[in-house]
Amino acid sequence: EPEVTQTPSHQVTQMGQEVILRCVPISNHLYFYWYRQILGQKVEFLVSFYNNEISEKSEIFDDQFSVERPDGSNFTLKIRSTKLEDSAMYFCASSEAPVSSYEQYFGPGTRLTVT
Amino acid sequence: AQSVTQLGSHVSVSEGALVLLRCNYSSSVPPYLFWYVQYPNQGLQLLLKYTSAATLVKGINGFEAEFKKSETSFHLTKPSAHMSDAAEYFCAVNNNYGQNFVFGPGTRLSVLP
């Protein structure tokens, strides 16, 4: 069964450093998302992406964040200068269509630890 | 604006007992509702979804949920808990105007032998 994959599974970085989290969505999906989950808190939407453009973004997704689809398979989230409060689990998701009734398929997540 | 509440951050049941995980939503338009499960160190897996067809929705692993508009609820149930059901369960809502999900805070289910 096709699945969303994410690398790395765990990333440790120092405050102020740049990190890139990578995702490979399901191959025939066209809509891509990033969510984050701070430890012990709920899953929060960051950004959605379609046709090489951001479709929606939340208040969390400020200028420190960017997304890119550098090739036909990868979808990346970059945090330009990490802060302690960026420590969280980051989930990538993809869906066939943006229609709200379509489920989103989630990857296993990347745990980001900022020290 | 949409929101989701899940009553009970932690629910414990005995193996073989009924599982009931509560979800209430707030949405200005008819919602689409989803239940996801997260096993330790894994991503979110879809259990079931309501998309305005039947109000009683059956999902994987014996779970089902009933959409009750009058109560703005979408509670998740399973008649008989199994040890393998121990996980975190998230209710999520979406509507026709947004692509992203709004998740509830989650309920951790423990199953006792």
Q: State which amino acid sits at residue A56.
A: E
Contact A42 B90 (CB under 8 A): yes
Torsion angle of the four alpha carbons B1, B98, A78, A2, in this order, in degrees rounded to the nearest 10 = 130
Residue of chain A nearest B37, judged by CA positions: A106
The partner residue sitting opposite B100, judged by closest CB among A56, A103, A108, is: A56
Contacts of B94 in chain A (CB under 8 A): 100-101
- Between CA B78 and CA A109 the distance in angstroms is 27
Asked whether the predicted pLDDT for residue B95 surpasses 70, the reply is no
Minimum Cα–Cα distance from A54: chain B residue: B99
pLDDT in tens, A90-112: 999 998 877 666 788 999 999 99
Q: Tokens representing A22? A: 């990578």
Alpha carbon of B14: minimum distance to chain A alpha carbons (Å)? 24
Residue-wise pLDDT for B68-77, tens only, equals 989 999 999 9
| Cβ–Cβ contact A41 with B under 8 A | yes
Looking at the predicted structure, is the pLDDT value of residue B15 above 70? yes
The pLDDT confidence band at residue B91, using thresholds 50, 70 and 90, is very high
Is the predicted pLDDT of residue A27 greater than 60, yes or no? yes
**pLDDT for residue B53 is more than 80:** no
Residues of B in contact with A4 (CB under 8 A): 43
A90 at interface of B, judged by CB pairs closer than 8 A: no
B2, B7, B9, B11 alpha-carbon torsion, rounded to 10°? -140
Average pLDDT over residues A13-25: 97
Contacts of A91 in chain B (CB under 8 A): 43-44
Q: Model confidence over A37-89: pLDDT tens digits? A: 998 888 999 999 998 999 889 999 999 999 999 887 899 999 999 999 999 99
